Amino acid sequence: MATKSKFLRGRKIDPAPITSKTTLATLVDEAFLAYNAARLREACHLFTRKMLEPEVTIGLSLTGALTPAGLGISALIPLIKAGFIDWIISTGANLYHDTHFGIGLSMHQGNAQTSDIVLREEEVVRIYDIFFDYSVLLDTDAFFRKIIEAKEFQKTMSTAEFHYLCGRYVYERERKLGLKDKSLLAVAYEYAVPIYTSSPGDSSIGMNVAAKALQGNKLAFDPSLDVNETAAIVLAAKRSVGKAGKTGKKPAKRKPGQSACFILGGGSPKNFLLQTEPQIQEVLGIDERGHDYFLQVTDARPDTGGLSGATPGEAVSWGKVDPDRLPDAVVCYVDSTVALPIITAYALSQHAPREPKRLYERRDEFMALLLAEYKKSKRR
């Protein structure tokens, strides 16, 4: 009998029938066997079995209108509370629309086929099939314009500091309104998860900051702080040593720190997350090899040349991803609104919570490390 081909060593496709008692984890493990379902299974496994190890620092990039669809409340906030997200790069729009929920404003399901002319006449704003009253924009604008008048905002700062300060105000507004865990900004403040925006002027938050600047407000964003702080977070993650776990009766060996990228969509936040490694290696001349884990959920194709579809293999050529870790890279070609809830539910059911890293509170420490290593570099 001929030797069986190595290409036939994969798991036999013979799933058990789905029943009324099938759990989500069982569905993913036993029924997501091929095509993009298999990639989603691989994403669940990569995130839960490798990225959630205690020595791994997880950075999330967030694009697309996910918070208006309620995914901040349903998925991102539970992930933060479980210690499964350590730092974030988001579009400003996601943070702006997230604030609606934290200050007691409402979004509604709608029909995408409704006439936009009729909606405009009735002062209803549409994000595809999400509807909300025009006053929601005005009230959220007023909220941001009021809080950035405060003394602590009258300076130049990183977007992480700005969002942390804003999160404190949203957190207090939630408390007064009797709300709980409605705003990503508020929960990120509570858990000291730093949130950066790669294009702070490209949102209604940035537009209101610009409007206040015309009145003499001193708030300004320093993109260089964002670039260096995010690089410092990654460098500190790679230089640190994780906590030892337990395997049976013997403690596991301590492992070196690792960095993971969890990318929802693509665009500028994706690049800002990944460029941390070229900033460390190429620009600052510090010895490093790239991120250890790459998990992207996208509907973009790589052959159009757009960043959103750029593969982890392409990222290796830039030094963004460690070539030795390329097997630990998954691209899941699924809508984020489908994949994120599934990955979240799978991870929460299969992995115990991690201790929050509270990285915002350690930014000065991380920057000191970055500067110390840069001083040794020949690139200066």
Which phi and psi (to 5°) does residue 195 adopt?
A: -120, 125
63 contacts 266 by C-beta, under 8 angstroms? yes
pLDDT of 26: 96
Could you tell me the pLDDT band of residue 249, with boundaries at 50, 70 and 90?
very low
**10 is a domain residue:** no
* Bridge-based pairing state of the strands 195-196 and 87-90: parallel
pLDDT of 2: 62
**112 is a domain residue:** yes
CATH, residue 53:
3.40.910.10
Residue 318 has pLDDT above 80, yes or no: no
Task: List, for residues 45-93, the tens digit of each pLDDT value.
Answer: 999 999 999 999 999 999 999 999 999 999 999 999 999 999 999 999 9
Comparing C-alpha atoms, which of 62, 53, 351 is closest to residue 193?
62
**20 is a domain residue:** no
Task: List, for residues 19-31, the tens digit of each pLDDT value.
Answer: 999 999 999 999 9
Q: What is the pTM of this model?
A: 0.92
**333 is a domain residue:** yes
Neighbour count for residue 167 (Cβ, 10 Å): 27
Residue 143 belongs to domain spanning: 35-240+255-375
**332 is a domain residue:** yes
**353 is a domain residue:** yes
Q: What is the mean pLDDT of residues 270-296?
A: 94
**246 is a domain residue:** no
Could you tell me the pLDDT band of residue 307, with boundaries at 50, 70 and 90?
low
Q: Rounded to whole angstroms, how far apart are CA atoms 308 and 264? A: 10
244 contacts 253 by C-beta, under 8 angstroms? yes
Q: Rounded to whole angstroms, how far apart are CA atoms 158 and 215? A: 21
Element (H, E) at 29: helix 24-31
Could you tell me the pLDDT band of residue 254, with boundaries at 50, 70 and 90?
low
Residue 315 has pLDDT above 90, yes or no: no
Catalytic residue among 182, 238, 270, 320: 320
For the ranges 46-55, 319-328, 354-363, which has the lowest average pLDDT?
Answer: 319-328
Which phi and psi (to 5°) does residue 346 adopt?
A: -65, -50
The DSSP output letter for 252 is: P
Instruction: Name the residue type at position 267.
Output: G
For the ranges 22-36, 73-87, 265-279, 322-336, which has the lowest average pLDDT?
Answer: 322-336
Q: Is 178 left (phi over 0), alpha (psi -120 to 50) or beta?
A: left
Q: Rounded to whole angstroms, how far apart are CA atoms 93 and 193? A: 18
Say how many domains are in the chain: 1
Is 155 considered catalytic here?
no
**127 is a domain residue:** yes
Task: List, for residues 111-153, the tens digit of each pLDDT value.
Answer: 999 999 999 999 999 999 999 999 999 999 999 999 999 999 9
Q: What is the mean pLDDT of residues 253-277?
A: 90
